[in-house]
Amino acid sequence: MNVRGMKRLIRTVVVVLAIMGLHACKSNSQKEKVATDTFLNDVKDTVSTVDASAPPPAPADKEHDVHPIALTPTVSAKDVEFASAITNNALNKVNTGKMALEKSTNNRVKNFAAMLVKDHTKLGDELNQVAKDKKITLPALSGMAEMRQADRLAMKQGNDFDKAFLDAMIQDEKKALDICENGSKICKDASLKAFAVKTLSVLKIHLDSAQAVRTSLQ
Return the pLDDT at 56. Answer: 52
Instruction: Give the three-class secondary structure for 218.
Output: coil
Question: Model's pTM, two decimal places?
Answer: 0.65
Alpha carbons 180 and 193: distance in angstroms, whole number? 9
Predicted confidence at residue 43, as pLDDT, reads 39
pLDDT confidence of residue 36: 47
* Predicted confidence band of residue 52 (pLDDT cuts 50, 70, 90): very low
What is the dihedral angle through the alpha carbons of 163, 167, 168, 170, rounded to the nearest 10 degrees? 140
Question: What is the pLDDT, as a whole number, of residue 218?
Answer: 75
Residue of 199 and 7 predicted with greater confidence: 199
Say which DSSP state 121 is in.
H
Mean pLDDT of 40-59: 47
Angle between helix 158-186 and helix 190-216 axes, rounded to 10 deg = 150
Residue 158 Ramachandran class (φ > 0 left, ψ -120 to 50 alpha, else beta): left
Q: Which of 199, 74, 190 shows the shortest CA–CA distance to 126?
A: 199
The DSSP call for residue 54 is S
CA distance 109 to 161: 10
**Average pLDDT for residues 5-28, to the nearest whole number?**
52
Is the predicted pLDDT of residue 124 greater than 70, yes or no? yes
Note the pLDDT of residue 72: 79
Query: What is the mean predicted confidence (pLDDT) over 94-108?
Result: 95
> 145 or 31: which carries more pLDDT confidence?
145
